[in-house]
Amino acid sequence: MNTDKLERLQADGWQVGSTEEFLQLSDEEARLVALKCSLISAVKKSRIKHKLSQIDLAQRMKSSQSRIAKIEAGDSSVSLDLIVRALIASGATTSDIQAAFTAK
């Protein structure tokens, strides 16, 4: 957000902060959310890179297309284990997976 807009919002009584502040996340919770987002993004990128549809990826995982859609949407019912399984099934390399874990 540019400085002018920030100053206007604050002058009008708005408070500006981070998502972590708004949701009152601890540092650990914020890191977990960031990790999950990075892995989810990596699943979709890898699926697209390998020219797989959600149905194709679901078949590789012996799952359903709707489950893949939930993974890519970051549904709260999706575990980190399932996200990593999808990443592996999508054809991601070990270095792709490591990059997803270390992304900031």
- The structural domains of the chain, with segments of one domain joined by +, span 26-102
Neighbouring CB atoms inside 10 A of 95's CB total: 8
Contact assessment for residue 104 and residue 61, using Cβ atoms and an 8 Å cutoff: no
For 6-48, how does the pLDDT look when each residue is reduced to its tens digit (9 = 90+)? Answer: 888 888 888 878 888 888 889 999 999 999 999 999 999 999 9
Contact assessment for residue 51 and residue 11, using Cβ atoms and an 8 Å cutoff: no
* Domain at 26-102, CATH from 1.10.760.10, 2.60.40.1940, 1.10.260.40, 1.20.140.10: 1.10.260.40
pLDDT of residue 70: 97
- 69 — pLDDT class (breaks 50, 70, 90): very high
Q: Please state, in angstroms and as integers, the Cα–Cα distance from residue 50 to each residue in 31, 38, 46, 59, 80, following that order.
A: 28, 18, 6, 14, 21
Percent above pLDDT 90 for the chain: 67
Whether the predicted pLDDT of 79 surpasses 90: yes
